[in-house]
Amino acid sequence: MTKPELLAPAGNLEKLKTALIYGADAVYFGGKNFSLRAFGDNFTREDILSAVEFTHSMGKKIYAAVNIFARNDDFDALIDYLKFLDCAEVDAVLVSDLGVFSLVKEFTNLEIHISTQANVTNWRAAKFFHDLGASRIVLARELSREEILSVKENCTAELEIFVHGAMCISYSGRCWLSKYLTGRDANRGACTHSCRWKYNLVEETRPEENFSVGEDNRGSYVMNSKDLCLLPHVDKIIQSGVASLKIEGRMKSVNYVAGVVKVYRAAIDSYCANPEEFKIRDEWLAELDKVAHRPYTTGFFIGDGKSTEIYETSKPSRSANFLGIVRAFDAETMTATIEQRGKFELGNRVEFLQPQGKTFSQTLTSMRDENDTEITAAPHAQQTVKIKVSEPVEIWSLMRE
C-alpha cells in the first residue's frame, strides 16, 4: 500500500509553516493574482521564494493555484507569473482553464495538476487531461466512493480528493451567484459567499415586505452547505489508491490548519502502520470539533449528498479559542515564550496543541512581558509573553482555551 500525500492549505507564510510542521506532506498556495482566493492574504513573489525554500528544506512539496478562468487580457501577466513560478521551482501548478493549461505547456516545464474547479467527474475527462499532459487530477467533490474507484481503475493519473473543509453548494465552485448579486466573480477568486446569506421571500407587488421562508425567526439559509469531513472514511480512501488527500481552507486560521492537519496526519499514519487494527480515535474527532467549522457531512462520498444544508445559521462554530503560538521554550526554567493572538490572564485554564506531542492542559500561574516584568493579563495583539509551563512544550505549539 502506498501512503497517500496529505495536502494542506497555505493562506500565508505562517500557515504554510504551520501546516508543514504539523505533518502535511505538501501545501498549496495562491499568488496575488490568478488563484481563486482574491481576498486571502496570498503570496507576493518574495513570499513564494521563501515558501519554496522552507518547504523544500523539509523535503516536502509546494503547489501554486493558478485556477482562475482567464480572459484574453490576462495572458501577458499570466505568462510572466508562470515563468516566475517555474524559476522558483514550485512542484506543480493547479489549473482549471484550458487556456492557462496551454500557457503552462508552452512557456514552462511545470508539472500540471487539474484543479477541482475543472469539474472532473468521470474517468474519460480524467484520462483526457492526463493524455494532454496533466500528472494529477483533483476530482470534483460531487463524486461517490464508487465513482472515484472507477476513475482510478480507468486512468493512470494521480488522483487527489478533498477530505475536509468548507464546500460550495454550487457545482464545485462553478457558480454565478456571487457575480450576479454583487458583481464579484467566484470564477475570478472574488466570491462573496452569497450562498451563506440569509434569504427571504418577496412578493412581486409588495417589494417592501420580506417574508421569512424559514421555520423559525432566524430565517432560512437555503443554500448554506455543511462542511466536509471524511475522517471516518479515511481507511476506505487510502484503500481506493488516491494519491493525495486535500484539506480545504486557505482563508482559515492557523488554529484550523494545525488541528486538522495533525488529525489527518495521525489517522493516515495509524492506518498505514496497522490497517487491521485501525479505528477512528475520539481525540481526533474532538480536535476537529475545536477548529472553526459548520456541522460536518460526508458529502457525496457516502450516500447521495442529500441533507448537506444547514438552515439555522451560516456562522461556523468552534470549541477552542486560539490564544498564542509558542515561539521558544527554556527547559531549565520551564518557561515558554508566547506570541499572543487572543486575550488571556492569570488563572485561565489553557491547553497546548503540539506539532508532535500530546495535547496537555494547565492553569496560567505566572506571566511576564518581554522586559521580564510580571503581568497579570496579556491584552495586546502579538504581545510577547513568557509563561511557566507544567510540561516541556514544543515550539510552534498553539496555546488555546
Where along the sequence are the contacts to ligand SF4 (CB under 6 A)? 168-170, 173, 175, 177-178, 186, 191, 193-195
Of 259, 232, 228, the C-alpha closest to 246 is 228
- Closer Cβ to ligand SF4, 17 or 37, answer by number: 37
Of 83, 76, 88, 74, the C-alpha closest to 35 is 74
- Closer Cβ to ligand SF4, 306 or 349, answer by number: 306
Please state the closest distance from residue 185 (CB atom) to ligand SF4, in A. 9
Please state the closest distance from residue 42 (CB atom) to ligand SF4, in A. 17
What would the DSSP string read from start to end of 61-102? EEEEE--S---GGGHHHHHHHHHHHHHHT-SEEEE--HHHHH
Please state the closest distance from residue 174 (CB atom) to ligand SF4, in A. 8
- Closer Cβ to ligand SF4, 177 or 338, answer by number: 177
Residue 155 CA, chain-centre distance (Å), reads 26
What does the alpha-carbon distance between residue 212 and residue 103 come to, in Å, rounded to a whole number? 49
- Closer Cβ to ligand SF4, 155 or 186, answer by number: 186
- Closer Cβ to ligand SF4, 117 or 270, answer by number: 117
DSSP 142: T
**Residues 192 and 184: beta-carbon distance below 8 Å:** yes
Specify the pairing of strand 335-340 against strand 377-378. Answer: unpaired
SS3 377: strand
Please state the closest distance from residue 164 (CB atom) to ligand SF4, in A. 16
- Closer Cβ to ligand SF4, 104 or 195, answer by number: 195
Of 89, 224, 96, the C-alpha closest to 167 is 224
Residue 171 vs residues 120, 121, 141, 302: alpha-carbon distances, Å: 11, 11, 8, 17
- Closer Cβ to ligand SF4, 178 or 255, answer by number: 178
Residues forming a β-bridge with 31: 43
Please state the closest distance from residue 247 (CB atom) to ligand SF4, in A. 17
Please state the closest distance from residue 69 (CB atom) to ligand SF4, in A. 12
Please state the closest distance from residue 47 (CB atom) to ligand SF4, in A. 25
